[in-house]
């Protein structure tokens, strides 16, 4: 009797973990996640819900029509991509779905890596559907315990490998991180009286996080920490927290609170800093090398106080923008260094009122356009970062900082406060690259004009870097 009982137990165990049961567990859990296993060697956000949904669909799909099964699988794929994309680019899943309507303005497949990833995902999910249908009768007979255990293992591995410091910090932001911004830290959230005729230029630098290594941060800061700038400006630098993507950074700096662009689409006016500068007697303008329809900026920028908008559609064909010239890959727009000419001309234009100008840069959006920088750091070998992407991005920021240096040294604009501030850390695809930036932090630099009695004379000779940046 004891031998029979033992044999029955063994047989039940073998039946529960039969070859077909293990095969089903593999198809239901592992197969649709293979592309993300590969991605996790670089960087991949957590994707708990899709992992569970693929298992659930595999179970109920044994009873479904093949077309219905394929449609549901496609919906899960879309949701999976939304979850991963939101984690990489600091968008909430809701905002990613809302931003789908802007996809027509993006050149998503200008980067071969996106095309390859889309094909690989389609192949493995297609194979997942095919194998469920082909083995339907066999899979109906198996125990679900191996599949459930495999799902638990997948969730544990996903948590272990893909929980990043950025993710942990982002989850804590709303309740645990006290709000601050570069505008508040520098005092620019309180407009200088218009009678002082002091312009303000805020440059939001795309993807400029705070370097973890101070030596790397100095590569940028030292461009402006030079005697000719120090003679006329008080220079301060600092860091601050961020939450979300670029539009969330615009809420942080321009409206002084955590938020995002949907928060500014209901009322006709919001008490944000551009509006405060208008009330203080300033002219206000926003500059962006991309189309204003992206994230509804043409709608909500006037509501927060911008009187003039200069997006790609307004600037193309103007005297400051070379005809037909564009920069960037996925976000293909006007070139940042060309847009700088329009910004400088606006600040230098005649008028009775001082000016508040906001300039959002564009071309450090990933993926980066090759050969689009002034070579300085030997990026082909990784430069000081041992990483081509971080090195090339830094060279792009250096070009921008040198161009801002020109604006600061313009004799007619030396009574202009200038703030350079990052929006979020760069959403690079490698763990090594992400580790080179302080989690949850952006960097900023502020140039404040010295009082006349402390200011030294600055030569107005043209800077040699200007022609180099145009070549």
Model pLDDT for residues 69-111, shown as the tens digit of each residue: 999 999 998 888 877 776 666 666 666 555 555 555 555 555 5
Q: Which of 189-198, 374-383, 403-412 has the lowest mean pLDDT?
A: 189-198
| pTM > 0.75 | yes
The mean pLDDT value for 301-322 works out to 93
pLDDT at 300 over 80: yes
Task: Give residue limits of the domains in the chain.
Answer: 2-163, 169-470
**Tokens, residue 239:** 């860091």
The dihedral through the CA atoms of 82, 393, 466, 423 has a sign that is positive
The torsion region of residue 324 among left (phi > 0), alpha (psi -120 to 50) and beta comes to left
The mean pLDDT value for 197-220 works out to 96
Q: Hey, which residues does 12 pair with through a beta bridge?
A: none
CATH of domain 169-470: 3.40.720.10
The mean pLDDT value for 380-386 works out to 93
The mean pLDDT value for 371-386 works out to 92
Query: Collapsing DSSP states into helix, strand and coil, what is residue 158?
Result: helix
Q: Where are the alpha helices (DSSP H) in 135-213?
A: 136-139, 145-162, 165-176, 182-186
Packing angle of the helix pair 388-409, 336-348 (nearest 10 deg):
20
pLDDT at 372 over 90: no
Peptide bond preceding 436 in cis form (omega within 30 of 0): no
Could you tell me which residue, 448 or 454, shows the higher pLDDT? 448
The mean pLDDT value for 138-167 works out to 82
Question: Cα separation of 151 and 59, whole Å?
Answer: 12
According to the model, what pLDDT value does residue 471 have? 42
According to the model, what pLDDT value does residue 100 have? 57
Mean pLDDT of the chain: 85
Question: Cα separation of 18 and 25, whole Å?
Answer: 11
According to the model, what pLDDT value does residue 162 have? 73
Q: Which of 20-24, 420-424, 427-431 has the lowest mean pLDDT?
A: 427-431
The mean pLDDT value for 372-398 works out to 93
| pLDDT band at residue 56 under the 50/70/90 scheme | very high
Could you tell me which residue, 99 or 470, shows the higher pLDDT? 99
In this structure, are residues 91 and 85 in contact, taking their beta carbons and an 8 Å threshold?
A: yes
According to the model, what pLDDT value does residue 109 have? 57
Q: Which of 55-59, 80-84, 412-416 has the lowest mean pLDDT?
A: 80-84
In what helix (H) or strand (E) does residue 48 lie, and over which residues does it extend?
A: helix 48-60
Exposure on the CB side of residue 273, measured as CA atoms within 13 A: 27
Packing angle of the helix pair 48-60, 145-162 (nearest 10 deg):
160
| pLDDT band at residue 467 under the 50/70/90 scheme | very low
According to the model, what pLDDT value does residue 41 have? 67
pLDDT at 323 over 90: no
């Amino acid at each position: 009797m004891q031998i029979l009982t033992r044999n029955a137990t063994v047989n039940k165990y073998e039946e529960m973990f039969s070859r077909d049961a293990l095969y089903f567990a593999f198809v239901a859990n592992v197969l649709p996640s293979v592309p993300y296993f590969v991605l996790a060697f670089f960087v991949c956000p957590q994707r708990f819900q899709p992992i569970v949904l693929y298992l659930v669909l595999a179970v109920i799909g044994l009873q479904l029509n093949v077309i219905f099964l394929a449609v549901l699988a496609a919906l899960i794929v879309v949701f999976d991509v939304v979850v991963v994309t939101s984690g990489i680019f600091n968008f909430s899943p809701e905002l990613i779905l809302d931003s789908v309507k802007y996809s027509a303005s993006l050149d998503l497949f200008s980067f071969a890596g996106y095309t390859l990833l889309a094909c690989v995902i389609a192949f493995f999910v297609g194979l997942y559907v095919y194998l469920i249908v082909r083995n339907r009768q066999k899979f109906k007979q198996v125990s679900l315990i191996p599949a459930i255990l495999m799902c638990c293992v997948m969730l544990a591995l996903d948590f272990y490998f893909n929980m990043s410091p950025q993710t942990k910090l982002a989850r804590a932001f709303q309740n645990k991180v006290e709000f601050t911004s570069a505008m508040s830290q520098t005092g620019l959230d309180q407009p200088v009286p218009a009678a002082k005729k002091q312009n303000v230029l805020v440059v939001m630098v795309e993807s400029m996080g705070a370097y973890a290594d101070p030596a790397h941060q100095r590569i940028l800061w030292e461009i402006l920490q030079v005697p000719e700038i120090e003679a006329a400006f008080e220079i301060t630098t600092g860091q601050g927290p961020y939450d979300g993507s670029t539009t969330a950074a615009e809420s942080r700096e321009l409206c002084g609170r955590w938020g995002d662009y949907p928060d500014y689409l209901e009322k006709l006016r919001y008490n944000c800093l551009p509006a405060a500068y208008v009330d203080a007697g300033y002219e206000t303008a926003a500059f962006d090398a991309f189309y204003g329809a992206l994230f509804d900026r043409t709608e909500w920028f006037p509501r927060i106080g911008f009187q003039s908008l200069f997006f790609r559609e307004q600037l193309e064909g103007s005297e400051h923008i070379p005809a037909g010239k564009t920069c960037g890959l996925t976000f293909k727009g006007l070139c940042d260094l060309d847009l700088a000419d329009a910004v400088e001309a606006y600040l230098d234009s005649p008028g009775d009122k001082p000016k508040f100008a906001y300039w959002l840069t564009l071309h450090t959006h990933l993926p980066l356009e090759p050969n689009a920088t002034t070579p300085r750091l030997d990026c082909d070998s990784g430069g000081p970062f041992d990483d081509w992407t971080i090195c090339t991005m830094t060279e792009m920021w250096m070009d921008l900082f040198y161009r801002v240096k020109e604006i600061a040294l313009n004799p007619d604009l030396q009574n202009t406060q200038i703030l350079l501030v990052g929006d979020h850390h760069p959403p690079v695809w490698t763990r090594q690259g992400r580790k080179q930036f302080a989690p949850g932090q952006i960097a900023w630099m502020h140039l404040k004009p010295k009082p006349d009695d402390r200011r030294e004379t600055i030569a107005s000779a043209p800077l040699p870097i200007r022609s180099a940046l145009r070549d």
